Chains A and B, each alone.
Chain A
């Protein structure tokens, strides 16, 4: 039998339908891979019994020809999605022992379509971070290595999802993206990460970080896999007031391979000072690929790009400080006693939140406090309007925008963490689209000089994931990215 964990999601789906193997066999192979790679610390909670139970049910449905679009396909779920009866931590001490009494809409959609849950994967605490080093459950290691042998970060915040998919522990994983948390880790580990338009996937039952930015999406090894999985994750949900009531198209059908005549915008402001030559090289390569495929390359301007990151670091902490007010030691999770109610709140939140989360709550509290709201928060929301306007103008001229995903390849644990702003710069290319609510996808494009993956990002028009997926498919075919993480070399 072929190595089942190395199949794409699409090939596994087709193999199950053709009865080349069973969902139980497929799931068992992945459970073994999860167990064999525990050193990566990708999983917070493994659910092998539940996985096998779901797989058996899938096999029964497949036997009757009743399989759903994701039937029998084992997935890793970011531990930010509430899963009924299964520990959900957001990688925070403050959610100790939290067993949701309900299922998030996104995961419910995946189970409705037959998918199998392998477990809950690690992330930065409350999805705040770009390296998966702020988790209460410890950092995640990338399956990739650098010549100096140091452990590398998988990116963040969806670092466990990225590591699990790259290391072939899961066929695919759910991620969430607030400022780049799907796309940047996808770039770091050489996989595909898709952040849909804000409103495309329901936020209901997903632990909130910054509600006007948070969006769930698939992390997969191919663009086709992302298309398949997005179709199951997306959809209108009356329980999320910002969920959009438009039909979910068959994204896989968008993969026609034909982008002739399409206009691709190259924003000049993304050529930032001190950008490594290898990023420039991969970006130029992407431009050449799309031109050779018949697209027209257009220089565009997104004038407020440089203000996106500082805008984000007002808006996101402000929303985080409001959202995380609910962790008070009363209704769920950790409680640290105190002499009064206030002291109990203060003790619980002091012990329950890690350093990065505490920093963001304090910044958010400050920018929303009396006398500072207009100077910081209102100003940031005005600039956010300008950033969105820049994109809207650009999308009048072009169908899609091509940029690098991240300003570097993966770095080692301990690098970039001496200064919070230095770490924030990781998201310089992903944050603008988040602020404008636009769909973005990172596609593995090649390797840097250090032998580590680099991704390219496509930014689409609102709710036009199909064009984005079509272009991503062409870029993926041109890139022919087949490099395996060092951990897996010799396995195949």
Chain B
């Protein structure tokens, strides 16, 4: 299947990336090239094949449920473009 302009615009919104109207056609073309390339996977019979969940055969480790880090407000916000009193500051969300 092929992506049309409207679908590309919808995906771009889902990904929160603004794509100018004028670039949508070109981008749809590029994305379709990639999607056509991966379509050959449909040739493979995967009936009953478990999807890979871990590339190394290992279970997830458990650890004690204890606080191991924290209390580093300054370090956490040190790289924020805008922060106020130890909080990240963003444009107003509630009207």
Contact = CB atoms under 8 A, between A and B. Distances in A.
A99 B79 contact: yes
Interface in A344-358: 344-347, 349-350, 353, 358
Nearest to A358: B17
Given A199-B56, A346-B16, A341 B93 contact: yes
Contact of A366 (B3, B18, B55): B3
A193 B92 CA distance: 49
Contact of B52 (A329, A343, A347, A385): A385
Interface in A372-405: 376, 378-386, 388
Given A330-B81, A341-B90, A420-B30, A212 B75 contact: no
Contacts of B8: 362
Given A330-B88, A349-B15, A99 B78 contact: yes
Nearest to A344: B91
Interface in A284-340: 304, 306-307, 310-311, 313-314, 321, 328-335, 337-340
A311 B41 contact: yes
B41 A379 contact: yes
A346 B17 contact: yes
A386 B11 contact: no
A170 B45 CA distance: 48
Given A244-B56, A419-B33, A310 B16 contact: no
21 contacts: A97-B79, A99-B78, A100-B79, A238-B63, A310-B41, A313-B37, A314-B38, A331-B79, A332-B79, A333-B79, A335-B82, A341-B90, A350-B17, A361-B15, A363-B35, A366-B7, A376-B38, A388-B52, A388-B55, A421-B34, A437-B55
A329 B14 CA distance: 16
Nearest to B17: A349
Contacts of A328: 16
A242 interface: yes
Q: In the A-B complex, list the 9 residue pairs whose CB atoms are closest, starting with the nearest.
A: A437-B55, A381-B51, A335-B81, A332-B79, A350-B18, A382-B46, A101-B75, A346-B18, A310-B38
B34 A313 contact: yes
A337 B18 CA distance: 13
A350 B31 CA distance: 17
A344 B90 contact: yes
Indicate the size class of the contact surface on chain A: 35 or more
Q: Is the interface of B mostly helix, strand, loop or mixed?
A: loop
Nearest to A340: B91
Contacts of B84: none
Nearest to B14: A365
B46 A386 contact: yes
Contacts of B56: 197-199, 242, 244, 437, 462
Interface in B14-44: 14-19, 27, 30-31, 33-35, 37-42, 44
Contact of A307 (B15, B33, B41, B75): B41
Contacts, number: 165
Given A98-B79, A241-B60, A346-B16, A384 B52 contact: yes
A271 interface: no
A341 B63 contact: no
Interface in A406-433: 419-421, 424
A417 B35 CA distance: 18
Interface residue tally of chain B, by bracket? 35 or more
B78 A101 contact: yes
B14 to A, nearest CB: 5
B91 A380 contact: no
Contacts of B72: 101
Interface of B: 3, 7-8, 11-19, 27, 30-31, 33-35, 37-42, 44, 46, 49-56, 58, 60-61, 63, 72, 75-76, 78-82, 88, 90-93
A3 interface: no
Given A359-B34, A383-B41, A419-B33, A331 B51 contact: no
Contacts of A420: 30, 33-34
Contacts of A311: 38, 41
Contacts of B37: 310, 313, 421, 424
A436 interface: yes
Contacts of B27: 359, 362
Nearest to A312: B38
Given A330-B88, A344-B91, A380 B55 contact: no
Nearest to A378: B51
Contacts of B15: 321, 349, 361-362, 365
A244 B56 CA distance: 9
A386 B44 contact: yes
A256 interface: no
B44 A307 contact: yes
Given A331-B79, A346-B18, A365-B11, A380 B41 contact: yes
Contacts of A339: 91
Contacts of A241: 60-61
A242 B61 CA distance: 9
Contacts of B7: 366
Contacts of A386: 44, 46, 49
B91 A244 contact: no
B12 to A, nearest CB: 6
A390 to B, nearest CB: 12
A404 to B, nearest CB: 21
